[in-house]
Structure 1
Amino acid sequence: EDWIKPGGDESSNYHMGLLYLAAYCEKFGVTSKILDISIQKITLESILDIVESEQPKLIGISATSAGMKSAVHICQEIKKNYDIPVCLGGAHVNCDPHFIERVTAFDFCISGEGEKSLYDAFIKIKNGEKVDGIIHGEAIDNLDEIPFPARHLINVMDYVREEQRRKFGPELMPWATMLGSRGCPFKCTFCSIPVINHKVRYRDPKPIVDEMEAIYDQCGGKYSFVDDVLTLNKKTTMGLCDEIISRGFSKKFRWLGMTRAEILNEELVARMAEAGCSDLFFGIESGNERIRSEVIDKKISNKEIRDAVQMCKKYGIHTSFLLMIGFPSETDLEMEETVNIGRKVGADLIGIHQTIPFPGTKIYDQAIEEGLIDSDSFDKFSRGEGWGEKDSFFDKWPKYVPEGLSQNDLISARKRAYFKHYLRPSWAFGRIRHWIRASHWFKHDIDLLKLAP
């Protein structure tokens, strides 16, 4: 079988979902080939040549909402030329499985976790049975039953982008993408994950560290955990830290992940720092407590945010804030709190983006109710109706603009946030230790300054 990740899903993290699917199938003797179109710059003609050469029994295409136009087009071209079943998976169909009934390009889809369902579908197809419609994937309770991701099917160096190599040198190695858990219990209104899976399951710390050790030479000991919330379970996170420390890897490993301010405490932060955690990313979203609590259902106080940053500073963990502007009912003054929050509480880095109503989110439903988006807009995008061949989802898909504000207001606020945060002597002074530790941080920070007006 072939699994394809279409254009529009660009990321420097490799696609763990596909690697886990391939690993699970390999466990039962099924071989796979993975094509990452965005990273490998594979043309449609090349895809068809590969299909002709490989003659797979099943082709899978994994796509987010942003990549769906490309996914549908690829599927249509494959079906024109080959009588091979094509399955759709990925983030969009996880929250909208009936998509394949409205946009009829694919034979079937797997919504949710796909390891068991994909293998079962493959065996049926191999035995001459027809597979169609919506398959609801069966979640695996014991994640340690799944083999390590099939990284041998990709070239990990492809995930160091060309501009990064030019900037930081050819010796720059990619961070290894890791996953220690699945699921998220929170219900943020801008996120589609609550629709997919609330149930959180954790891997045992020992096989996680076994995997980190096994791929050390691929990444130079740098690991990026892509769990929705790496620190959700204190006992599990402490266990991971203890495993790293007890095996003597705390000085060799450097790792990072996502967290939430209200679930950190000093004991946990201290242990993570001791075990080699260098960076934590906080999904703060808004600097205003009303927006967080009442609009996006993220009940975190400013005090909890400030305390978390100070704990990280105390133990030398680098902090980054992920921020958004343009939430429903947001006022100019509330948006300005988001502009200022990183600077006020002492975060090292900020990234700020405008709110996009993605399908499967509560904000998307609200945008339809308010007439910002037509209910069939996404299906038209997927078919390419009214969209040029090279039109990007992120360039043309509507962004949320609160009543009383304009698109220019939001663009100006984003620039102002970068200007205020990064063009400060105190910020540069605080960054010196990072510049000394790794010269690429200096080059990275210079690029951030270019975002300021």
Structure 2
Amino acid sequence: MKLRILLINPWIYDFAAYNMWAKPLGLMRVMKYLARFHVETHLIDCTDAYTPKRFAAGQYLSTPVPKPPVLSHVPRQYRRYGKSPAAVAREIHSFGHADIVCVGSTMSYWYPGVQHVVSLAREMLGDVPIILGGIYASLYRDHAAAVSGADAVYAGSIDDGFLHLLGTFGLRLKRSRRHTPQSLKHVARESRIAPILASTGCPFRCTYCASPLLAPRWQQRSPEEVADEISMLAGAGVLDFAFYDDALLANAETLIKPLLRKLLERGVGVRFHTPNGLHARFLDDELAVLMRKSRFATIRLSLETADPVRQGETGGKVSCEDLQRAVAALLRAGFPPSRLGVYLLYGLPGQSLAEVNEGVELVSSLGVRICLTEFSPVRGTAAWDALVKHEIIPDTLDPLLTNNSIFAELFCGYDTEKLRALRLSVKRYNEELS
């Protein structure tokens, strides 16, 4: 008899959220891993309720909810994003008996959504073991074990350690003779958008980034394997693909360039988006032309700061000259400026608003979109350690207070009115560009 495994992607609890082609990639990888065993899996995505707009991205459905006490002083409306609890309860009931429940997690400051899902699953399924995994579980394992309500917390990527954890609950998985990519079938059946990972990890070690903590080894898949996956999903009706690699363009000659050539040879007519910032230093004219021919519709480049000293101190992944060359290559390839965006961070340890303004001026001089992004500290990174060392935050800071929507205003000492004026000027600039 097959083991029945229910996987649930929790709600988002936040002050703001927008669906940039998000899918529960971690749980989909779990489903892909489990496909080699004699099991029945089903994925419930609590966030899969939004209004698609341009290129299938869109606004989540949301409901106002009370703020946790630690956020009570924040003068903004807190919301739950996604399906109604009643709708999720109906899906759990429809699945019926489960031998194990696997709950995913992403942003650490969304853990109230984890708590809600675990509580609902416990109420409906009784003593069925609940395992929590994902980014929050990996970065805040002790915190998750203390507050999530799950029976076990699984840290790190899915591997055979998961089988050992199941064994502690008396569950044994039997290998199947047939290996079918259930996670991919689910995406193709349920949606016209799909996330893609052509690689995991990153060759850089930026001081503010969690990638080395979550994927210590940088590994690239074969272009053929990724092309087959995209072709299969495209054949099933998926139109928009979002690359979620941390270093998609690194080693371009062995991954992204041959991948795009293979897709062009096959005539795969889909669109691509890169919500994770691309490394500008690896983007040359040849790659820009390939991306244009392959119908990249949304391109985001990472700059983070225009200060050369801070660029070097935080990892040295990009320079202003790298960015200028990359943007010029993309424009020569025929990309409209409105399709190109550059990420700029504000709120980094020791970063002034004057420095942020310098970045805004540089990007606006290039005539492309400015993606002004709030810094959120990640426990275990050098940036976190610097904040703790200078007594800006305690090492025991509640993950809710690392929320990028509020962190800069609470801990960076910025003049609130000047920060709001900067945001407004960037918004107006982007609207004029569109």
CA distance in 1, matches of 2:234, 2:354: 47
- Is it true that 1:212 corresponds to 2:230 in the alignment? yes
Candidates 153, 157, 173, aligned match of 1:109: 153
Alpha carbons 1:5, 1:36 under 8 Å: kept: yes
- Is it true that 1:60 corresponds to 2:111 in the alignment? no
How far does the alpha carbon of each residue in 1:367-395 deviate from its partner, in whole angstroms, 9 at most, with x for none?
3444443433326x59xxxxxxxxx9565
Equivalent position amino acid for 1:71 in 2:
V
- Is it true that 1:28 corresponds to 2:70 in the alignment? no
- Is it true that 1:150 corresponds to 2:154 in the alignment? no
User: Which stretch of structure 1 is more off in the superposition, 365-374 or 23-32?
Assistant: 365-374
Alpha carbons 1:25, 1:119 under 8 Å: kept: no
- Indicate the residue corresponding to 1:3 in structure 2: 7
Question: Which sections of structure 2, spanning at least 5 residues, go unmatched?
Answer: 50-81, 174-178
Equivalent position amino acid for 1:328 in 2:
P
CA distance in 2, matches of 1:151, 1:410: 43
Alpha carbons 1:309, 1:346 under 8 Å: kept: no
- Is it true that 1:330 corresponds to 2:351 in the alignment? yes
- Indicate the residue corresponding to 1:366 in structure 2: 386
Distance 1:147 1:416, change over 3 A: farther
SS of 1:150's equivalent? helix
How far does the alpha carbon of each residue in 1:102-121 deviate from its partner, in whole angstroms, 9 at most, with x for none?
43722212211114333453
Q: TM-score, normalised on structure 1?
A: 0.74
- Is it true that 1:191 corresponds to 2:209 in the alignment? yes
- Indicate the residue corresponding to 2:342 in structure 1: 321
TM-superposed deviation, 1:59:
0.9
- Is it true that 1:90 corresponds to 2:108 in the alignment? no
SS of 1:98's equivalent? helix
Distance 1:220 1:96, change over 3 A: closer
How far does the alpha carbon of each residue in 1:46-102 deviate from its partner, in whole angstroms, 9 at most, with x for none?
555655562211111111213212212432454466111111111122223333444
- Indicate the residue corresponding to 1:357 in structure 2: 377
- Is it true that 1:13 corresponds to 2:54 in the alignment? no
CA distance in 1, matches of 2:110, 2:353: 32
Q: 1:164-313 to 2 correspondence within 5 Å?
A: 174-219=192-237, 221-234=239-252, 235-249=254-268, 252-257=269-274, 258-294=277-313, 296-313=314-331
CA distance in 2, matches of 1:346, 1:156: 39
Equivalent position amino acid for 2:214 in 1:
I
- Indicate the residue corresponding to 2:367 in structure 1: 346
Alpha carbons 2:6, 2:43 under 8 Å: kept: yes
Distance 1:212 1:409, change over 3 A: same
TM-superposed deviation, 1:21:
1.0
Alpha carbons 2:166, 2:172 under 8 Å: kept: no
Alpha carbons 1:339, 1:414 under 8 Å: kept: no
Alpha carbons 2:203, 2:247 under 8 Å: kept: no
Alpha carbons 1:92, 1:359 under 8 Å: kept: no
Equivalent position amino acid for 1:256 in 2:
H
TM-superposed deviation, 1:398:
6.1
Equivalent position amino acid for 1:152 in 2:
K
How far does the alpha carbon of each residue in 1:279-330 deviate from its partner, in whole angstroms, 9 at most, with x for none?
4311111232233222x33442211110110011111244221222222222
Question: Which sections of structure 1, spanning at least 5 residues, go unmatched?
Answer: 130-145, 159-173, 383-391, 428-444, 446-453
TM-superposed deviation, 1:147:
6.1
User: Which stretch of structure 1 is more off in the superposition, 105-114 or 42-51?
Assistant: 42-51
SS of 1:270's equivalent? helix
SS of 2:357's equivalent? helix
Alpha carbons 1:354, 1:399 under 8 Å: kept: no
CA distance in 1, matches of 2:10, 2:378: 18
- Indicate the residue corresponding to 1:440 in structure 2: none
Equivalent position amino acid for 1:110 in 2:
Y
- Indicate the residue corresponding to 1:38 in structure 2: 47
Alpha carbons 2:376, 2:403 under 8 Å: kept: no
How far does the alpha carbon of each residue in 1:236-281 deviate from its partner, in whole angstroms, 9 at most, with x for none?
12221221233234xx233233421112223333333344444431
Distance 1:421 1:34, change over 3 A: closer
Distance 1:221 1:73, change over 3 A: closer
- Is it true that 1:74 corresponds to 2:121 in the alignment? no
- Is it true that 1:377 corresponds to 2:427 in the alignment? no
Alpha carbons 1:356, 1:399 under 8 Å: kept: no
**Number of matched pairs:** 379
SS of 2:136's equivalent? helix
Alpha carbons 1:254, 1:278 under 8 Å: kept: yes
Equivalent position amino acid for 1:207 in 2:
E
- Is it true that 1:125 corresponds to 2:164 in the alignment? no
Q: TM-score, normalised on structure 2?
A: 0.77
Distance 1:124 1:30, change over 3 A: farther
C-alpha RMSD of the superposition: 3.1
Equivalent position amino acid for 1:304 in 2:
D
SS of 1:321's equivalent? strand
TM-superposed deviation, 1:180:
1.0
SS of 1:343's equivalent? helix
CA distance in 1, matches of 2:291, 2:320: 23
- Indicate the residue corresponding to 1:437 in structure 2: none
Distance 1:78 1:49, change over 3 A: same
CA distance in 1, matches of 2:426, 2:278: 22
